[in-house]
Structure formats: structure tokens, C-alpha cells
């Protein structure tokens, strides 16, 4: 995931394959969830220069680019975010190709501008990586909240905006091992079972039982990667009666066996 935050000035961003660019002003953030090809420019019609051909100087471990002819200055903080939860891919697929954030109210806009300015200063001052990560995380949370508020009428992001269905999702996410059913979830959020089932399926795109099963498998994948728990312990933590039951569900949803997944993730961590 790539983002560009305009600290000062203005610029245009155009995605590959799209004829019209989007204008970005100071305080705006352009977020590309799937990291698609794009062009940044000051004016329409300017030819693009491949990123690897632009001179770069280093500020600590952070590359800084100064490019262009004399004129009005635009300063942009660019970066990337990585979501490493097994559910990340499905969440990103629900987001638009380009999410350009322009807070409507002054308070949010001031917060965004201040956060971008602080991020830029931390880069120039060679601040600790932890502070850079925290500021980037804050911007990402802001963008996800905006994506949810602008989401289409259906989809997981729209479901999080619905008070009762969003609460049901939070319950499942918070305790995947609980014996969730349409009836128990409906009761917890104050809805009738039939109405809850229909509304959940409409917004999320799958019935509650299927979503619960998929979330349990994703939670198991997270534990396989980040803990040394045995597969039997993981099965109990995510709501399966046995290791075999988890193994069958895992193979169905993830396309590989529990041991294969753990070995692959361990190998990826060593490669880093």
C-alpha cells in the first residue's frame, strides 16, 4: 500500500489507465491500497520520469527526492504501509483503487495537515523509526475511517458503518472461539434472527456462519505465524473442538495444511 501526503503546495495524481488526474492540496492524502502505477505532476500533460531515474539523497535511512524546475514548491511525504494480518488482502480488495482524503471539516483537516508536517519533520530530523510508524499508522486509520464512511451500500466496510451489524462483527473479531450463530449474534445486537441474517448477508456478502468460520481460520493463521502454540491449542483458541476439525477448515479456506502454512510463514520471517 502506497500513500502520498501533500505537506505544502499542490500536485496532480493520475492512475495508470485513467485519463483524468485528481488534484491534491496541502493536507490531502492519496492512498493506493493495492500500490497501482501512477503519475505525480504539477500540471497536466507533463511527461513522467520513472522513479528509479530520479536522483535521491538519504536522510538517515529515508530517501529524499528534490525534483523539478524553479517555481512554486510542493512538498510531499511518500511512504508505504504493510498489513500483515491474514485478513488484510480481503480488506484491501474492498477499498477503492485510489482513496484521496480531503477532510470536510476544518478540525480534521488541521489534524491531517499537522500530522503530515510532523511526519515530514521526523524524516528530516532522522527521528526514531517507531515514531514514523506511529504517525503513518494514524494516517492509515484516518483513511480507513473515511473509506468506511464513503463505502457503497454493501460490502464489509459498509457493514462496519451499520450500528448493529458492525457490533456483531466486533463481537466475532473479539472472541472467535465463542459459539456464534445468527441467533446468538442477533440477540446480542438487539435484532430478530431473520432480520439480522438478511441484513448481515446483504452487507457483508456472506451469511453469518460462513463469515464466522472464515474469521476463525484467519485467526488461526495469525496464531500459527506469530506464536509457538501447538495446533491443538490454536484450535481451542479459535473455537474448534479438535485439531482435525481446524485442519479441515483451514485446508478448505486457505488452500494448504496447517504445517505447510506455519513453515512457509517461518521461512518468510527468516528471509526478512
> Residue 270: what pLDDT?
41
Residue 115 to residue 119: CA distance in whole angstroms = 6
Residue 67: count of CB within 10 angstroms of its CB: 9
> Residue 271: what pLDDT?
45
* pTM (predicted TM-score): 0.63
> Residue 168: what pLDDT?
95
Longest dimension (CA), the chain: 68
> Cβ distance 126 to 63 under 8 Å?
no
Domain spans in the chain, listed from the N-terminal domain onward:
2-149, 156-271
> Residue 155: what pLDDT?
67
Low-confidence ranges of the chain (pLDDT < 50): 269-272
> Residue 209: what pLDDT?
94
> For residue range 65-81, what is the model confidence (pLDDT) as tens digits?
888 777 788 989 888 87
Which residue reads 484521496 in cell numbers? Answer: 100
Residue 199: count of CB within 10 angstroms of its CB: 18
Residue 266: count of CB within 10 angstroms of its CB: 12
The enclosing H or E element of 113 equals: helix 106-124
> Is the CATH number of domain 156-271 1.10.10.60?
yes
> Residue 147: what pLDDT?
64
> Cβ distance 137 to 54 under 8 Å?
no
> Residue 240: what pLDDT?
93
Backbone angles phi, psi at 215, to 5 degrees: -65, -35
CB proximity list for 170: less than 8 A, separation 6 or greater: none
Q: Is 79 helix (H, G, I), strand (E, B) or coil?
A: strand
> For residue range 208-251, what is the model confidence (pLDDT) as tens digits?
999 999 899 999 998 988 888 999 999 999 999 899 999 999 99
- CA angle centred on 67, ends 142 and 116, rounded to 5°: 20
Amino acid at each position: 500500500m502506497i500513500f502520498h501526503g501533500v505537506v505544502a503546495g499542490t500536485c496532480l495524481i493520475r492512475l495508470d489507465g485513467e485519463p483524468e488526474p485528481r488534484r491534491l492540496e496541502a493536507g490531502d492524502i492519496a492512498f493506493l491500497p493495492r500500490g497501482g502505477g501512477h503519475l505525480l505532476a504539477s500540471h497536466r500533460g507533463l511527461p513522467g520520469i520513472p522513479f528509479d531515474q530520479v536522483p535521491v539523497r538519504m536522510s538517515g535511512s529515508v530517501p529524499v527526492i528534490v525534483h523539478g524546475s524553479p517555481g512554486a514548491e510542493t512538498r510531499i511525504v511518500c511512504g508505504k504501509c504493510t498489513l500483515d494480518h491474514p485478513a488484510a488482502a480481503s480488506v484491501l480488495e474492498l477499498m477503492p483503487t485510489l482513496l484521496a482524503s480531503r477532510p470536510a471539516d476544518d478540525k480534521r483537516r488541521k489534524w491531517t495537515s499537522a500530522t503530515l508536517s510532523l511526519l515530514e519533520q521526523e524524516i528530516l530530523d532522522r527521528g526514531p523509526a517507531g515514531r514514523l510508524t506511529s504517525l503513518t499508522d494514524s494516517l492509515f486509520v484516518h483513511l480507513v475511517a473515511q473509506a468506511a464512511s464513503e463505502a457503497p451500500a454493501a460490502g464489509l466496510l459498509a457493514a462496519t458503518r451499520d450500528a448493529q451489524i458492525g457490533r456483531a462483527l466486533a463481537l466475532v473479531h473479539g472472541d472467535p472461539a465463542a459459539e456464534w450463530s445468527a441467533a446468538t449474534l442477533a440477540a446480542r445486537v438487539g435484532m430478530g434472527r431473520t432480520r439480522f441474517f438478511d441484513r448481515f448477508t446483504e452487507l457483508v456478502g456472506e451469511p453469518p456462519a460462513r463469515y464466522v468460520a472464515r474469521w476463525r481460520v484467519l485467526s488461526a493463521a495469525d496464531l500459527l505465524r506469530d506464536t509457538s502454540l501447538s495446533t491443538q491449542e490454536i484450535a481451542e483458541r479459535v473455537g474448534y473442538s479438535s485439531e482435525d476439525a481446524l485442519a479441515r477448515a483451514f485446508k478448505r479456506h486457505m488452500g494448504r495444511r496447517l504445517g505447510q502454512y506455519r513453515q512457509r510463514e517461518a521461512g518468510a520471517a527468516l528471509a526478512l
